[in-house]
Structure formats: C-alpha cells, structure tokens
Amino acid sequence: MNSLRNPTLIVLAIAVAVALGFAVYLADQDTGALDSVNGAVHRETDGNIVRQTDEYLGSASCGGCHEKQYSDWRGSHHEQAMQHASATTVKGNFANTSFVSDAVSVSFTQKKDGFYARLAGTDSVEHDYKVLYTFGTEPLQQYLVAFPDGRLQQLPVAWDTQSQQWFDPQPTLKARPGEWVHWTEGGKNWNSMCADCHSTAVAKNFSAVENRYDTAVEEISVGCESCHGPGRDHQQAVLNGAIAGLGDLKIDAMSAANPQLMVDNCGRCHARRQAITEKFEHGSNTLLDHYLPSLLNPPLYHSDGQILDEVFVYGSFLQSKMYAAGVSCVNCHEPHSARLKGEGNQLCTGCHSAAEFDSPQHHHHSETAALAAGNQCIDCHMPGRLYMGNDFRRDHSFRVPRPDLSVAHATPNACTGCHTDETDTWAADNVVSWFGLVRASHFSDVLTAAQSHPRESLGLLVTLLKDLSQPAIARATAASQLAPAIAVDGVEEAVTSALQDLHPLVRASAASALAQASLPQRLAPLAPLLDDPVRAVRIAAAQALINAPPMRIPNQFRESFRLANIEYQSSLMANSDFPTGRLQMAIDAHRGGDEQAAEGHYLAAVAIDNHLNAARMNLAQLYYNQGRLADAEALYRTTITQEPNASEAFYALGLLLAEQRHFGEAAQMLRSAATLGNNPRAWYNLAVLYQQTGNPEMAEKSYLQALQLAPGNSDFTVGLVSLYSQQGLTKKALATVAQGLVFAPHDSRLLQAREALQRAAAN
C-alpha cells in the first residue's frame, strides 16, 4: 500500500536573505540620566557611542586644508544623518503633542533634561522614553531611544518636515510585540539596521552569547572619514611633506578616473545589501569584500528590475547604460554637499544633445508645460516611488519606458505613472505611433518572462547569463533564478561557466546557484573559487561546500577551504543578530548533523522574530526525526495560527496526524494544504488516506485532482490504479494505466500493473 509520509517533506533552504531592508532613519544620542525602560531602571551611556581612536581625527580636522569641501559638507544630509538630540537638532513638535492611529499612540513632551515620547513598549504598557538622537533631517526626521543591552530603537512615528506634523512612515504594518518589525524589535534597531550607514566607522560589536550590543562609532554622522578612511596617516604625511603624488595620499581618494570604485564606495550605504564582515575596513577596491548586494528579484524589485521595495539606488544604477559607459555618482551629484550639479534637463544635456532629446520630437510633451508635465528627462527615465511615507526616490536605472511590458507582465511604466486615468495599452499604442513597433532588446524582457513563465524561460535566462554585453547585476540575477533548475540540461553548464566571469557579483551568484547541484557536480568547479580575490565569492564557494566531507576537498584546496570557511563563519556571526542569520547557522548545523546546535539556532531565530516560520518548520522536522512528535505538532499549529494560508504547515501537520491515526483531522489538514497550495502531492496523500480509511469515492476525486495538476506523475497513476483494482474496476484501471504509459512508457510499475490487469481480465 502507498506510504502516506513524503520522505522529502521539508526541504531546507539553501540560502536566506539577511538584508531585510526596513529603512530606518536614525538620530544621535544624548545625556546620562536614569531612565525607566520597560519598567527597569537603566543607565544610559551618556551619548558615548563615539569612541574616537587615534586613527580617526574627525571631520573638523579636515576643514583646515580642505575648506571648500568641509564647507559644502556642513549642513548636508550626510552631516545631519545622525545627531545628538538638542534644541537645535530636533525638528519635531514635543510641546505636549500626540499622534494616535489604529496602530500606535504616542505622546510627546519636552522636559528640562530633554525630549520624551510616551508609548507602549515590549510589555504593551506605556513608558516614557528619552530621545537621545535625531535620525535624518528631511523630508522626515526620526528619533532614537535607548533600550537595555546597548540597543537603540527607532520610534514608530516620525516628523514630516514638509507638512510639519507627526506621521507613521509604515502605517500598514500594525506590528505587535515580538514581531521583527515592531518598533521595539530588530527591524527597528539602530545597531543592526541603521548605524553602518548613518555614522562613521561603525563597529556593531554584537555578542550572540550575551545577546547585547556594545556598538561604537568614530563620528556620530557621515563625516569625511566615512568615505575617505582614517585621516591620521594622511595628516601626518602632509605635515612631514611625505606625500609624493596623488597615488600616495595615505587615504582613500575618490577619483573620477575610476568610476567603478567611486560607485562601489557610495554603494556601501546606497545599496540594499548584506554585510559579510563585522566592520568595514578601508583599502579595498570592491564593495563585495564587505557586502553582498541584493539582486533584481521580487519582492525587492519588479520582475523587470524596476524599483519596488526600498533598494537605495545602487542596484538600479548598475543596470544602466550610464554605469556601463563609465558614469559615476559624482557626475550628477556634488559629493560633499550631496546636491545635484544642475537643475532640470540641464543636468542631462551636459552629456546628451539638447537639440535631439530636450525637444517635443523626443519627449512628445509641450515645451512650455510645467516641469511636472512630462517634458523633463527624469519624468520618463527616472520614475520614482514614495518610501517611508513621504520620501520620494527615483529609479536610477535610466531605462526607456516600456508600457508593452506592462501590458504583458503588469510591470509599471512612466507613462501611466503620470497618466493615471489611461491604460497601459493606451501608452503602448502611443509609443508605437511615435517610435515604431520594434523595441530595443533589453534584459528586462527576459526577467519579466522568467517571472511569468519560469519553466519556459530557462533558455532565455541561460542566454542572458552568457551575454557579456548585459549588466553584471542582471546576469547575476539570471544565475540566481536558474538555481532551482540546476539539473536541467544546459543550466549547470552555463552556471559553471559563469564561475569564471570577470565580475565578482556574477561569480558569487553562480557559486550560490551551483550549491544546489550534487557534490560531484559542484566540487571541482567551486574549489578554485575558495582562492578568489573577492571575499564575497570565497564565502559563496565555502557555503556551497560547507557540508562536503573534508576528505573530498582536493588536497591543494583544503587550506583555502579552511580559510574561506573562517570568513563564512565570520559573516554568519556578523549577522547573528538577524533572524535569517541565525536561520542559516541552524541550517548549516542541521545539515552537518549537529542537531543540538541546530535546535539552539532555530530557537534563537524564532526568539529574534516570532514570525519566522521557516525556522519553525525546519525545527519541527528536526523534532519529528527525533521522535518528538508533540513538539513538532505544536510548531506546525503555531505556524498555521500565524499564517492561515501556510499550505506547507497544513501538509506537514496532516501527515503527522495521519501517522498518529487521527484520520479525521488529518484529512482536514491535507485538504487545506491541497487547496491553499494547489499542491498535487497533498491531493495524492489525501487520496491515500481516504483509500486506507474506506472512502473510495473521495479517494478517486483526490487522485484525479492530483493527476490534473501533474498528469505525468507515475506515483499518482499507480495509486489510482490500485484504488480501481481494489474495487474490481478492471476497465477503469486499464484505461488509467494506458494513460500513464503515455507519459512514462517504461515505468516498471505501470507495465507490471497492465500485465496483471490483463491476466485478470482474461480470467
């Protein structure tokens, strides 16, 4: 009889994204009063997150020689990225005001010793929290308060500097205590989510053992040394007359002659990325020695690579023809004031012909219309989105509007972004009337097709991966999307070839994709990457080989694997305060057979984010394998309570209940799994359950549902044949066998069943 339990019930994830990307605009610390934090007396650090070493001198020390640059920086968003809360820095109204919504209620007051917010904390009881820092400056300013164990947390409301009122930047979250996105939890934590980009030379200093932070910065805001590195050696060399030329400045000098380096330097903060080191160290020429940028995959980006979630410019700019042509951030932005270098279309026509492009013949809008009416280059080529409630940011991929892709794949386009009363078809028809039917080939065609029709698009993705004329981030995205199909003919070969790509982002993505291949397939091509010059690539190779038996690693790469694995483990520890960081540690331990360590990491992941049900599901599988069925069942039920549409949890719970002979509830769970997840395997297991419990009518319906979703599945066909045979329905059984043999003409079970049925019919 068919077995109910699916031996591959829970498949452990290969990799998890650590950078969750809840944008948090932080502020500076303040005084050392005794404050009540969630009812416990807690002494503040007197604003002493600034622990300047003798290497770092502070931005003021640069102003003497670099007066113009220092003057430009003063008052910039970089200088005001984070400040101590004071009467001169706090913009919000704390004069006995309040903000109340369905999600949060906060009252604001100003006392002799500073600014206070009163609201519910982790215990759902209201407390007074002293504002220590402002975070950001406009169009919104946020505020930080201190929590125990060295934590600084962002208040859930912000001050709108344009409308001069309090507002909730993320009103749809409606987060509850214990959830990662609640204002008291990790998603709103300055130490892990914000500090690295809003202060200079940040050392997070998180202790996973003690679950506390001892975060330190060299300068409270984004100062000169944040981009240029520590100034001591540079200053000393200047005083000693020891600087021989521009190549010997003893500091990171950003040169327009190296646009890739310039963009990488800005990308440290202006990218959606995952840190792979505890602290950024100056001197490297590549972003990927310290961070791994996110790829162009939903839900961060639309399927064609346009911005969707908050992705901070870098990933968009890497898609552009401008980046490919050597344009860098400072071609448009003044690096010290962060202001644009020109106004309106003048910024673009400094490089592009005004006669050709700044005309109605190109943009098809009136020259005399208001700036917002479509005659500005950025209207069509840099559409944007609102983030954090009121912060409008533009897409930096500088792409040509493609309403035809909107019609086919429901992606956005600049045309109907403005003309909201019109349709995408209207926009596409207008583009055809202006520019003809033919659109230039673009990688977005492939990415959108791959999201809509993944199986049919494998060839397109392989072609994109191999096309060196396409942006590296698009080809790296193609590699990531090919990972689930690594066993398909041609895919493994293409991904393996990409391990030799000139761009480290492509090599790292290909290494991660190849991790899903069998060990013999991935071992030989990945081993050389353990010596790659870029840290992110070495880490990806080490992670892909993490559970390879030591003796299988080729002799010449064993020391390289040891060193790369140290870097990989360090990257995990650098992210051990993230739930997904702990989840990856748990997965590695689970696969390596260390069940005790895996359990600890799974539990830690759930403790950090009570809604990380991926950790619950894997932990439940661990408990099941240990025979701890009641513990596994409890985890499945918690997951279902939190996620009523979690078909995998219904499926696992249904199988578990069936094994315990709770057949009635097991059938309910399996039916929910089958319908919620459109899961043919759940329909099959439900059919087996009905067959074993004497309900042939429902068993037949369930088998047929499974076969409708997966017509060529021999397991499902054999199951239905066995049901018909039990009932003596030989003709139905033979017809089902014949249909199954169309898909699997050499399946031994079907051939044997046909022979047995034919004998039975003859007798």
Lowest-confidence range among 453-457, 480-484, 632-636?
A: 453-457
Residue 271 Cα distances to 170, 229, 267, 295, 302, angstroms: 20, 19, 5, 10, 16
Sequence-distant (6+) residues with CB within 8 A of 380 are 363, 374, 401, 414, 415
Q: Is the pLDDT of residue 26 over 70?
A: no
The predicted model gives 126-152 an average pLDDT of: 96
Amino acid letter at 698?
M
Which SS3 state, helix, strand or coil, does residue 3 take? coil
Mean pLDDT within 264-268:
94
Q: Say how far apart CA 136 and CA 390 lie, in whole Å.
A: 13
The answer, yes or no, to whether residue 607 has pLDDT greater than 50, is yes
Confidence of residue 38 (pLDDT cuts 50, 70, 90): very low
For residues 707 and 433, give the distance between their C-alpha atoms in angstroms, rounded to a whole number.
47
pLDDT for 283: 83
Does the structure show a pLDDT above 50 at 279?
Answer: yes
Question: Span 192-197, mean pLDDT?
Answer: 96
pLDDT at 614: 96
Q: Give the tens place of pLDDT for each residue, 517-541.
A: 999 999 999 999 999 999 999 999 9
Q: Please, what sign has the CA dihedral across residues 647, 648, 651, 654?
A: negative
Mean of pLDDT values over 405-434: 95
CA distances from 483 to 15, 99, 468, 492, 511 (A): 11, 47, 19, 9, 10
Question: Residue 656 is encoded by which pair of tokens?
Answer: 């578990």
CB 650 within 8 A of CB 617: no
Query: Quick one: pLDDT band at residue 761, thresholds 50, 70, 90?
Result: confident
Q: Whole-angstrom Cα distance, residue 501 to residue 10? A: 34
pLDDT at residue 28, as a whole number = 31
Give residue limits of the domains in the chain.
Answer: 34-238, 254-258+282-398, 401-436
Lookup: tokens for 396: 């930096």
Considering the chain, what is the average pLDDT of its residues?
Answer: 90
Is the pLDDT assigned to residue 5 strictly greater than 80? no
Render pLDDT for 547-606 as a digit per residue (tens, 0 to 9).
899 999 999 999 999 999 999 999 999 999 999 999 999 999 999 999 999 999 999 999
Q: What is the spatial distance between Cα 111 and Cα 129, in angstroms, rounded to a whole number?
A: 12
35, β-bridge pairs: 42
Q: Residue 139 CB: number of other CB atoms within 10 A?
A: 17
**Between 497 and 254, the higher pLDDT residue:** 497
For residue 7, the tally of other CB atoms under 10 A from its CB is 5
Which whole number is the average pLDDT over 98-122?
A: 95
Cα of 552 vs its chain's centroid, Å? 33
- Compute the distance between CA of residue 266 and CA of residue 219 in angstroms, rounded to an integer: 18
Q: What is the DSSP string of 52-91?
A: --TT---GGGGTTT-HHHHHHHTTSTTTTSEEE--TTT--
Least confident residue range of 48-57, 118-127, 226-235, 412-421: 48-57
The pLDDT, as a whole number, for residue 159 is 98
Residue 285's pLDDT is what? 73
Q: Are 466 and 497 in contact (CB under 8 A)?
A: yes
pLDDT in tens, 288-335: 999 999 999 999 999 999 999 999 999 999 999 999 999 999 999 999
In which element (H, E) is residue 683 found? helix 680-692
Q: What's the pLDDT score for residue 250?
A: 86
Q: What are the tens digits of pLDDT across the range 677-700?
A: 989 999 999 999 999 999 999 999
Whether 67 has a pLDDT exceeding 90, the answer reads: yes
The C-alpha atoms of residue 303 and residue 444 are separated, in whole angstroms, by 8
pLDDT digits (tens, 9 = 90+) for 214-242: 999 999 999 999 999 999 999 999 988 87
Q: What is the reported pTM?
A: 0.88
CA gap 238, 254 in Å, rounded: 18
- Residue 625 half-sphere exposure toward CB, CA atoms < 13 A: 16
DSSP-derived 3-state class of residue 427: helix
Grade residue 366 by pLDDT with cuts at 50, 70 and 90. Answer: confident
pLDDT of residue 373: 74
> What pLDDT band is residue 246 in, cutting at 50, 70 and 90?
low
Q: Measured between alpha carbons, how far is 128 from 543 in angstroms, rounded to an integer?
A: 45
Helix then strand count (H, E) for the chain reads 34, 17
For residues 584 and 542, the answer to whether their CB atoms sit within 8 Å is no
Average pLDDT rounded to a whole number, residues 658-675:
96
pLDDT, residue 50, reads 83
3-state secondary structure (DSSP) of residue 491: helix
In angstroms, the CA 389 to CA 169 distance is: 5
Q: Bigger pLDDT: 281 or 38?
A: 281
CA angle (187 as vertex; 184, 191 as ends), nearest 5: 85
